[in-house]
Structure 1
């Protein structure tokens, strides 16, 4: 199996290979450095020993010369010949010096007489060059029985031995010289294996090779590199020659008149490290072999680790695709085996949980019937079969009557038990009809559906009648007998739709039509859907209206009937539609309440009213503004907090507002409504019961509400002057309100006569077309400046208008 570069296997191999190679290379570098250091130390030791050996050679040569000179100096005949001091004996002396010098390989032999002059010499020219050096050694030789030293003649070094001739006093000195040249260098090479070069350096610093074990060209390279040095090195140093790299040491052996004699000892580094190099090559071979073996072991180990993980990854992909049947190898006893065990347990756990999730997702836990999602799947499968067989399919949807009331009165647990009994009756009904392909489902809440494959309209209607009949039989639960019915909607394929969701939607439309008509079972008709489409369109347009700022705030003034003072106004909303023009509230407010959009609209009205109230207050018109609340507003427990945030943003007091609520809105859920109203009242808002007298409220309950105002519905006010009955109702309402300590407001005043009649009856405030129709909020100030009360009632100036507290 090829390793992917970013796979776990490749990463393991790469990591350990890098570590092993790094360790091996580091070890090899350390060994190489150790070898080099050891070789350097060994060469340095050889050079130090070579210096000792060379000095020993010089001492041996000096001893040899002294021995030969001593033999000649003690030769009786030679001493006698010198003592005669006869010129005829010079040849005899010269012969003796020459013979003695040759025996010991001396390059020069000469006799110094008692006058310290050269008497006889085998090489007069060389003798003359050494005369001064020899003269400086005579006293030492006489006192010590001999002396030796180094002399440089014509850039060549010589070893000198001076031996006195005693008879018994000193009658002369024998001087012998030994050349320090290639021969001595060769001897040194044979003894120590060091390449030796004899060098001299004159007073100007110029180096000259006298003799060397190197060849001529290499010897010249040595001279060139020595010449390049500013000063003679004191310790070991490196030379790079054609024959390789050498470590060298310069040994000073003598000095003569500004000239120095030196010996350069050199050791080939390549030769010295030859054994080490072989060892190093073995180490490199072993390192490479170790890396190869390690790499194979690492690859094998990585595969052992990564392959089971790869298999687990494949299993994970199968799990991702919903396949939980794959087997996982759990035979290993190591950590990978533990991981495989955990993975296998996870697979089993996921399989069980997914099975449970599928059950929860597709089955109703209360009734153990298919839920909506499962029913849609069954319906689509039935539609596919029907399409192949050219059959029809019908769907029945039903919604229980009065189920919400049962829940509210008897409790949720009783309602759940009721739903289980309904499900049991429906299942029993299908079982008795022996329709194995029919399927009942609970879609949610108190809605049920029945699938009738391979059925027709008549069969669907008969089934609907049987279901209604089964549900009409009272249900007995917990010693309680409950009468319950249902509305059933019917839709079929291919007559009404070709997919499951469409058929369900159409059956739902038919079901609501059945409930509205109280007609038992209704088959879907396209005409039923027009109102639904219109509702959806209206809801979309309402949402767009808020975003496009199509709503407008209008107000209708509220006036004190006894003085004509303007004390407040009622906020009203108008919709300026881009296509329909002005849309009146009666056309969209009921729908907004039904859909819940009224909450958004109430927030908009409150915001705009706060802006207008703030503007009026800054211009000297502190009017109280009335805002209508709907049933859904009262059910919103966050409503007080939302209003408080609006007041804080516009820096207004709650007393600037009066919130109007209809009797029916309160009675839909009296407990929650009273809770919300008490919180609003505690904040400082005035509360008003709107359209009083048209609802079904209990006076005892209304007495407990924290309200400040009653508004008499306009249906009683419009015809007061002509209908004595309406007048009596209005009088009673005014008296009731005052007896309860409430402010009474009449709406719908359209004539001066009605105004005056209401004022006589003691009504506090009024509003209506007689005073003003609803006007845009931005035109209120202009209206206030022009307002005048009718007839005998004196109208106050604009600046006298108060809040009507």
Structure 2
């Protein structure tokens, strides 16, 4: 059986073999791990139960000792002998203690008299060593009618039982000890099949065996491995592995008692090899079954791979013929399985591929809405015209136009209406070219509401004449669905060889001219190289604006806001100035509109707010509590995260929301009234003052003013500057002040440049004002010095409060 390397057949065989082997190996590893885990869990259960059993054994021994001691403590003769306290009775007591101790296999018995002194013992040396622990057990024994504990004597653990002797009051205590040694470990082995090793640890941390079911060196090996374990805490039962006689054991160290810094413990051990013996047999059977399954699977996979790969190879050869354009070859579709279905699909593909190629070509080069050439097709036509013009030394011109107000029509009337409008525009342009006998001219839709006209073998005068006729044609109202729509266009002109010799380049130049025409509202504009320079300048300005913040080139200026009736300074408006390292001072009129167009205004507003908050905090620390006004742009109002960012700013500088007044223009609100009002309501709910800036210059003032949560109106300076000499301006200002006050708003006048205007505004009831008469914009760090020098006009100064203080509403 021969399998070609890197063929589909070999890949199928390799893939499935790798998968099967991987699955089997992973399965074996999982089973092996499961066997080990199960064995470990079973051993852990045995050790846990063994610890309980060992505790029961100790408790049983303690109960036996307590029972024997209780019998002796209640013996009448024994009580009488203690009560007489004569020399002959002392021998009787000693004999009774010895006999009782032998009966219950106690290693030592003794009597503690009522004065808590050892009076009689069967082992004086051991009694002295036990004196301290026994003394601590006397009171618990008297209270509970007996007590037991663990003592370590000469590094040997003992169970100690103390039983009070009462007649009827306590006249002494009987103390008995029982060794915890190999005998108890052997009993543990017989009951649980666990190896048990009893050991003690001295204060230096050295372990010593006291009895073990392991023999000789094995017991020593267990104790030696205990040295590496951490000291067991009270009540802990540490589990660890042991190596004994080349066998693995899982062991559990159980602490059973402590005496004067020495610890007694028992190590319970279970052989891991014995616990997993049956599992290992099962594992060997699984390995044999796995190997057999891999061999059988290999044979089946090879046969299956050949049945799959051979017909697919034949279909691959057919696909190569289709790739070369040969659609006449026969395809065997007789099979009824998936391969047959695939062959049938190939056959259907061969029949429809030519139609699809034709349709794809149409979609790639023609606009489906207007059936005009699209941008790609127009570019091909333009490049062909340029080649012909180069050989004949002729000129070629491109007209590009963008419809005016189309987005508004689309938004108001719907996209279906907009599509119909585009079709009518395309029809008008085609009809115009036909009527002007421009057979070689070509109109195309480049995308959206942009159209282009190709004028080969033309000149600039003819191109401008055609542009005028196109604009005149588009100015005629369009009628759709009983709706009449007025629509115009901005049109740009670029030509070969005057402006460029490449199709893409000419389109780009015509587009630049078109946008210049829309900006100037000038109908048709011929491309000029200066237009592109302004674009480069804009890109350069954007880069410089971004660098200006990083290089700290912006400066914060402020203009004071003053109460007109008292001359009190109550606030300041924050302004930004740009100190360019090369251009010098750049005025706001030069970069603010551009920042708004590009979206950079958000970063600039954030910078102004940050610096204003910093200045406000510094002024408050010096006793000047001024409300700072900051202008918000359209893009700022559309930022739904603005309230969150502003709250964070106030928290960082520990300022109240009332320290700020955010100024907005009517035009900014009108761009997206719903989103703008949502942002303003959230800011107002925080406690921030809101002000309508340049009031009176917008076109929807009253309609939105009644719904906006504003606190202040700022009269535009165009009405204030000349109100001293213009009665009309004075009437507008008076009406605005009355309107603001009737709506409960604070009214501020901008552009006060003379004392006469100040006094006139004060007479009209205007609340606050700002302007060159009081102060030009000054750097923020110079405001404190200005406040100290500020003096209101004499007539106003005669009234109270002429210095800076808390803002008044």
Q: What TM-score range do you get, normalising by the shorter chain?
A: 0.5 to 0.7
1:550 alignment partner, one of 548, 553, 559: 553
Structure 1 distance, partners of 2:763, 2:523, is 55
Residue 677 of structure 1: how far off its partner (Å): 3.4
The structure-2 alpha-carbon separation of the partners of 1:487 and 1:723, relative to structure 1 and needing over 3 Å to count, comes to closer
Q: Does 1:445 pair with 2:448?
A: yes
The answer to whether the Cα contact below 8 Å between 2:625 and 2:804 also exists between their aligned partners in 1 is: no
The answer to whether the Cα contact below 8 Å between 1:620 and 1:799 also exists between their aligned partners in 2 is: no
Structure 2 distance, partners of 1:347, 1:552, is 71
Residue 553 of structure 1: how far off its partner (Å): 2.3
The answer to whether the Cα contact below 8 Å between 1:691 and 1:712 also exists between their aligned partners in 2 is: yes
Structure 2 distance, partners of 1:379, 1:463, is 17
Corresponding residue for 1:603? 606
Structure 1 distance, partners of 2:326, 2:559, is 71
Structure 2 distance, partners of 1:324, 1:528, is 54
Structure 2 distance, partners of 1:694, 1:613, is 30
1:421 alignment partner, one of 421, 424, 432: 424
**Runs of 5+ consecutive residues of structure 2 not aligned to the other structure:** 20-294
Q: Does 1:662 pair with 2:656?
A: no
Residue 585 of structure 1: how far off its partner (Å): 0.5
SS in 2 for 1:449: strand
Structure 2 distance, partners of 1:16, 1:740, is 82
Corresponding residue for 1:483? 486
Residue 315 of structure 1: how far off its partner (Å): 8.5
1:801 alignment partner, one of 791, 800, 805: 805
Q: Cα deviation per residue 1:116-175 (whole Å; 9 max; x = unaligned)? A: xxxxxxxxxxxxxxxxxxxxxxxxxxxxxxxxxxxxxxxxxxxxxxxxxxxxxxxxxxxx
SS in 2 for 1:426: helix
Please report the RMSD computed on the Cα atoms of aligned residues, expressed in angstroms.
Answer: 4.6
1:684 alignment partner, one of 671, 687, 697: 687
Structure 2 distance, partners of 1:401, 1:592, is 24
Structure 1 distance, partners of 2:414, 2:372, is 22
1:511 alignment partner, one of 502, 514, 522: 514
Structure 1 distance, partners of 2:498, 2:609, is 49
TM-score, normalisation: structure 1: 0.56
Structure 2 distance, partners of 1:352, 1:456, is 41
The structure-2 alpha-carbon separation of the partners of 1:477 and 1:719, relative to structure 1 and needing over 3 Å to count, comes to closer
Structure 2 distance, partners of 1:738, 1:455, is 66
Write the mapping of 1:223-238 to structure 2, written as runs, cut at 5 A: none
SS in 1 for 2:630: strand
Residue 324 of structure 1: how far off its partner (Å): 11
Residue 657 of structure 1: how far off its partner (Å): 2.0
The structure-2 alpha-carbon separation of the partners of 1:435 and 1:539, relative to structure 1 and needing over 3 Å to count, comes to same
Corresponding residue for 1:623? 626
Q: Cα deviation per residue 1:16-37 (whole Å; 9 max; x = unaligned)? A: 9999xxxxxxxxxxxxxxxxxx
SS in 2 for 1:394: strand
SS in 2 for 1:556: strand
Write the mapping of 1:204-603 to structure 2, written as runs, cut at 5 A: 305-306=308-309, 309=312, 335-338=338-341, 363-387=366-390, 390-407=393-410, 409-432=412-435, 435=438, 437-515=440-518, 520-603=523-606
Structure 2 distance, partners of 1:299, 1:457, is 76
Structure 2 distance, partners of 1:649, 1:322, is 71
The structure-2 alpha-carbon separation of the partners of 1:598 and 1:317, relative to structure 1 and needing over 3 Å to count, comes to farther
Residue 580 of structure 1: how far off its partner (Å): 0.6
Corresponding residue for 2:744? 741
Structure 1 distance, partners of 2:745, 2:474, is 50
Q: Does 1:774 pair with 2:777?
A: yes
**Count of residues paired in the alignment:** 532
Structure 1 distance, partners of 2:803, 2:585, is 34
Residue 572 of structure 1: how far off its partner (Å): 0.9
The answer to whether the Cα contact below 8 Å between 2:666 and 2:701 also exists between their aligned partners in 1 is: no
The answer to whether the Cα contact below 8 Å between 1:709 and 1:744 also exists between their aligned partners in 2 is: yes
The structure-2 alpha-carbon separation of the partners of 1:303 and 1:522, relative to structure 1 and needing over 3 Å to count, comes to same
Instruction: Name the stretch that deviates more: 632-641 or 491-500.
Output: 632-641
The structure-2 alpha-carbon separation of the partners of 1:427 and 1:637, relative to structure 1 and needing over 3 Å to count, comes to farther
The structure-2 alpha-carbon separation of the partners of 1:353 and 1:674, relative to structure 1 and needing over 3 Å to count, comes to farther
Structure 1 distance, partners of 2:805, 2:621, is 14
TM-score, normalisation: structure 2: 0.56
The answer to whether the Cα contact below 8 Å between 2:717 and 2:749 also exists between their aligned partners in 1 is: yes
SS in 1 for 2:575: strand
**Whose radius of gyration is greater, 1 or 2?**
1
Q: Cα deviation per residue 1:346-379 (whole Å; 9 max; x = unaligned)? A: 8999999998777666544433433334433443
Residue 741 of structure 1: how far off its partner (Å): 1.5
The structure-2 alpha-carbon separation of the partners of 1:363 and 1:554, relative to structure 1 and needing over 3 Å to count, comes to farther
Q: Cα deviation per residue 1:177-218 (whole Å; 9 max; x = unaligned)? A: xxxxxxxxxxxxxxxxxxxxxxxxxxxxxxxxxxxxxxxxxx
Instruction: Name the stretch that deviates more: 750-759 or 546-555.
Output: 750-759
